[in-house]
């Protein structure tokens, strides 16, 4: 049995530190999700409007954010902000800004998809039944839209959590960075720590995302 | 913006872009092969392998590429499996993409009801003819949007390669920012190069999607 470097995890506060790092990553994604959902709903509603200008602007925003790798966006905000505003913004704030911009775009597209997937006869039937416009939205359209949206939004949250691993590259101390520090600090005593510690990080991400994936799949089956 | 600076370092970006695209393509090819194998195992419901494939798919879909790469690049050598950065990049991308490709292919195959295969067989078609004329044309049409989305997704994911010290576009940009403080120029070139790589793929993807959209009549 080769030395897998797992013993490092049980030394001192190493495991607690790793979990703290994971929490730092989760916090960034949770804040961004909390901001993206209302903004995304707003964007989605704007995107189905008929005005050409609104359509063009939202479309360009969506396409640009979606085609750029998230890491590029992080670099633009993190390194570019210092140049543009003459002041430095922290890695954490840059990540929240980028993930909110990205999450809003993705969420907006999901909302748009959910709205246009409601067939026209739903509106017509409810009007024929004598429901008011507000009643149509409240009792007919919104409940159906929400059912389609929730599984997709849960999936978006898992994507967001996975993407927070990138914030390491702009100097935010999160789980992978903590892992690097632990490996460096124990280089002499346990040279194989890289295997055990990175495996643990891998599994921590899995534990954070898997339940959400299962939930999304379950909801999709239940309401789909 | 300093045009001279940009022209001077253009070759660096070109080299980095070629590297990004090359490893990206290798990774996508690996992902595709892994995806086809996994999809066939799941479609054919092969007993034990099927379990292994579904564990693999869950593991690969629920973890970030960066962590997968760190594990392959820094972790595996400790138990005697060492790779160089390029191979590691392609393998990591293949590991991540395999599950996405497999899901895309499987969803296409599963939309074809068994009655179609049975009818085709009873008409006297040979198994390979069933595959070629009945199943594949429909499955490809259904899978294509997810398939193209995966290719773009995987090309975008190549941006994390700089973490395992591959000199890709991100690495070049970060290097130039650090060396010369030409932030605006370096970032501008970075965006332009990613657009050069990704825009054509995105446009071609849309054209292909439109051309193969023959399966869903009435939809």
Is A23 near chain B, with CB under 8 Å?
Answer: no
Cβ pair A68:B152 closer than 8 A: no
What was the ipTM of the complex prediction? Answer: 0.87
Is A209 near chain B, with CB under 8 Å?
Answer: yes
| 219 residues of chain B, pLDDT tens digit each | 778 888 888 899 999 999 999 999 999 999 999 999 999 899 888 889 999 999 999 999 999 999 999 999 998 888 888 788 899 999 999 999 999 999 999 988 888 888 988 999 999 999 889 888 888 888 888 888 889 999 999 999 999 998 888 889 999 998 888 888 888 888 999 999 999 999 999 999 989 888 887 655 444
Query: pLDDT value at position A115?
Result: 87
pLDDT greater than 80 at residue A224? no
How close B173 comes to chain A (CA, Å)? 9
Give chain A's length. Answer: 224
Kindly identify which residue of chain A lies nearest to residue B178, measuring between CA atoms: A79
DSSP SS3 for B122: helix
Query: pLDDT value at position B138?
Result: 86
Alpha carbons A193 and A112: distance in angstroms, whole number: 47
Residue B64 sits in a domain of what CATH number?
A: 1.10.3720.10
Mean pLDDT of chain A: 88
Residues 63-102 of B with CB under 8 A from A: 63-68, 70-71, 74-80
Please check whether residue B53 lies inside any domain of the structure. Answer: yes
Please check whether residue B141 lies inside any domain of the structure. Answer: yes
Please check whether residue A1 lies inside any domain of the structure. Answer: no
Mean pLDDT of A167-191: 87
Is A26 near chain B, with CB under 8 Å?
Answer: no
Lowest mean pLDDT among A27-31, A44-48, A88-92: A88-92
Q: Which residue has the higher pLDDT, B83 or A165?
A: A165
Please check whether residue B218 lies inside any domain of the structure. Answer: no
Residue A115 sits in a domain of what CATH number?
A: 1.10.3720.10
Query: pLDDT value at position A86?
Result: 73
- Domain with A70, as residue range(s), is 7-223
Alpha carbons B60 and B71: distance in angstroms, whole number: 13
What is the DSSP code string of B44-73? TT-HHHHHHHHHHHHHHHTS-HHHHHHIII
Query: B64: which chain A residues are within 8 Å (Cβ-Cβ)?
Result: 162-163, 165-166, 205
Best B21, B63, B150, B162 residue to mutate vs chain A (most A CBs within 10 Å): B63
Please check whether residue A2 lies inside any domain of the structure. Answer: no
Best A6, A71, A170, A205 residue to mutate vs chain B (most B CBs within 10 Å): A71
Please check whether residue A180 lies inside any domain of the structure. Answer: yes
Query: A29: which chain B residues are within 8 Å (Cβ-Cβ)?
Result: none
Query: pLDDT value at position A110?
Result: 92
Is A69 near chain B, with CB under 8 Å?
Answer: yes
Is A4 near chain B, with CB under 8 Å?
Answer: yes
Query: pLDDT value at position B57?
Result: 94
- Domain with B197, as residue range(s), is 3-211
Domain count, chain B: 1
Q: Is residue B104 a contact partner of residue B141, using CB atoms and an 8 Å limit?
A: no
Retrieve residue A13's tokens. 């506060």
Query: pLDDT value at position A202?
Result: 93
Q: Is residue B135 a contact partner of residue B109, using CB atoms and an 8 Å limit?
A: yes
Residue among A70, A198, A210 minimizing CB distance to B62: A210
Please check whether residue B217 lies inside any domain of the structure. Answer: no
Please check whether residue A219 lies inside any domain of the structure. Answer: yes
Query: pLDDT value at position B1?
Result: 74
Is A176 near chain B, with CB under 8 Å?
Answer: yes
Q: Is residue A160 a contact partner of residue A103, using CB atoms and an 8 Å limit?
A: yes
Query: pLDDT value at position B13?
Result: 92
Domain count, chain A: 1
Please check whether residue A206 lies inside any domain of the structure. Answer: yes
């Amino acid at each position: 049995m080769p030395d897998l470097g797992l013993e490092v995890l049980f030394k001192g506060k190493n495991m607690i530190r790793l979990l703290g790092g994971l929490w730092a990553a989760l916090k960034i994604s949770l804040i961004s999700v909390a901001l993206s959902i209302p903004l995304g709903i707003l964007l989605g509603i704007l995107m189905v409007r008929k005005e050409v200008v609104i359509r063009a602007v939202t479309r360009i925003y969506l396409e640009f954010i979606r085609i750029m790798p998230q890491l590029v966006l992080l670099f633009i905000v993190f390194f570019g902000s210092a140049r543009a505003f003459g002041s430095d913004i922290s890695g954490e704030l840059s990540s929240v800004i980028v993930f909110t911009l990205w999450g809003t775009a993705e969420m907006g597209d999901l909302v748009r998809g959910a709205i246009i997937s409601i067939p026209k006869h739903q509106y017509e039937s409810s009007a024929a039944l004598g429901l008011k416009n507000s009643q149509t939205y409240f009792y007919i359209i919104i409940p159906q839209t929400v059912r389609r949206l929730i599984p997709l939004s849960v999936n978006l949250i898992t994507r967001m959590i996975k993407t927070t691993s990138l914030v390491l590259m702009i100097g935010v101390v999160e789980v992978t960075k903590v892992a690097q520090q632990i490996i460096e600090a124990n280089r002499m005593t346990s040279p194989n720590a890289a295997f055990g510690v990175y495996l643990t990080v891998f599994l921590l991400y899995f534990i954070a995302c898997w339940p959400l994936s299962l939930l999304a799949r379950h909801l999709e089956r239940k309401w789909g | 913006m300093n045009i001279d600076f940009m022209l001077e370092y253009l070759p660096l970006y070109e080299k980095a872009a070629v590297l990004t695209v090359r490893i990206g393509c290798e990774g996508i090819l690996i992902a595709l092969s892994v995806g086809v194998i996994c999809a066939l195992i799941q479609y054919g419901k092969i007993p034990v392998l099927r379990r292994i494939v579904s564990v693999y798919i869950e593991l690969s879909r629920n973890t970030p590429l960066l962590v997968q790469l760190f594990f392959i690049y820094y972790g595996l050598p400790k138990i005697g499996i060492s790779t160089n950065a390029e191979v590691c990049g392609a393998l990591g991308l293949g590991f991540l993409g395999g599950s996405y490709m497999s899901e895309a292919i499987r969803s296409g195959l599963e939309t074809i009801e068994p009655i179609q295969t049975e009818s085709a067989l009873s008409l006297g078609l040979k198994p390979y003819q069933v595959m070629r004329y009945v199943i594949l044309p429909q499955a490809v049409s259904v899978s294509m949007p997810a398939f193209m989305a995966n290719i773009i997704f995987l090309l975008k994911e190549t941006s994390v390669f700089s973490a395992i010290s591959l000199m890709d576009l991100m690495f070049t940009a970060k290097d130039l920012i650090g060396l010369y403080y030409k932030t605006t120029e370096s970032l501008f070139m970075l965006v332009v190069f990613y657009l050069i790589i990704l825009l054509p793929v995105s446009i071609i993807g849309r054209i292909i999607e439109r051309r193969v959209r023959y399966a869903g009549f009435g939809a």
